[in-house]
Amino acid sequence: MKDGPVIAKIAALLGDPARANMLTALMDGRALTASELAGLAGVTLQTASGHLAKLSEANLIDVEKQGRHRYFRLSGSDVAEVLERLMGLAQRTGAVRVRTGPKDQALRTARICYDHLAGERGVEMLDAARRLHLVAEDADLALTTKGRDFFIGLGVDIDRLEKGKRPLCRACLDWSERRNHLGGALGAALLDSFIERGWARRLEGRVISFTPTGAQAFRSAFSIE
């Protein structure tokens, strides 16, 4: 039997329910311990440790040691983007839970995708950025001169972001909306700005909650009706 394509190994790792639960728990960008991930995945600590070892060997997660504890996080935003796309595929093909939980609507409204805003609010923001000509699309998203001035006005240090290795603007396919939201360094900086301004705050898991005042300020800033 011939070896399968290189995606086969990764697909097998992602296909296990416990490992999938642990990876999605890390999609909010935080580092969690093996015990925390075991609880979120519904498995024993010993079983979780075995899963985490496999994910680490495949470079899907990074391990950080602090004293006696080890913390696990996704190895990069590209892992989160793949997970987001797979969740969208599951949504489109009907491979979803029959019963939805109380957090599902909140996650669809606004959530964190690794380090940037996703859900309805994230898609609204990118749609508005396109409509206002803040970003232009060639092969990928690119910041316009108007957009540069606009985001600087929101307190984003564009010069610093441009010096980094990460793409400034990136379209990320949203699993619940099935349209793109804004990722990349700019997307991450904007979410940080919204939280620092008190417009939004992080709740348990990946939920982002906008305050009534914050939601109004957000919509006003991007001219969203």
What structural domains and CATH numbers belong to the chain?
7-75 (1.10.10.10), 79-221 (no CATH)
CB atoms within 10 A of CB 26: 25
Report how far residue 24's alpha carbon sits from residue 13's, in angstroms, rounded to the nearest whole number.
Answer: 13
pLDDT band at 60 (very low <50, low <70, confident <90, very high): very high
Task: Please name the helix (run of DSSP H) or strand (run of DSSP E) that holds residue 215, with its range, or none.
Answer: helix 212-221
DSSP category for residue 100:
P
Query: Which residue from 160, 161, 157, 154 is spatially nearest to 194, judged by alpha carbons?
Result: 154
pLDDT band at 1 (very low <50, low <70, confident <90, very high): low
> Residue 134: exposed, middle, or buried by beta-carbon count in 10 A (0-12, 13-18, 19+)?
buried
Q: Could you report the per-residue pLDDT of 108-165, keeping only the tens digit for each?
A: 999 999 899 999 999 999 999 999 999 998 667 899 999 999 999 999 999 999 999 8
Residue 99, pLDDT > 70, answer no
Q: Give the pLDDT confidence score for residue 176 in this predicted structure.
A: 87
SS (H, E, C) 27-96: HHCCCEEHHHHHHHHCCCHHHHHHHHHHHHHCCCEEEEEECCEEEEEECCHHHHHHHHHHHHHHHHHCCC
Higher pLDDT, 47 or 105: 47
CA terminus-to-terminus distance, the chain: 58
Q: What is the CA radius of gyration of the chain?
A: 18
Higher pLDDT, 90 or 124: 124
Give me the amino acid identity at 149: D
Q: What is the pTM of this model?
A: 0.77
pLDDT band at 100 (very low <50, low <70, confident <90, very high): very low
Lowest mean pLDDT among 44-48, 85-89, 137-141: 137-141
How confident is the prediction for the chain on average, in pLDDT?
89
The top-scoring range by mean pLDDT among 96-110, 163-177, 209-223 is 209-223
119 touches 187 (CB < 8 A)? no
> Residue 175: exposed, middle, or buried by beta-carbon count in 10 A (0-12, 13-18, 19+)?
buried
Q: Give the pLDDT confidence score for residue 66 in this predicted structure.
A: 85
Residue 202, pLDDT > 50, answer yes
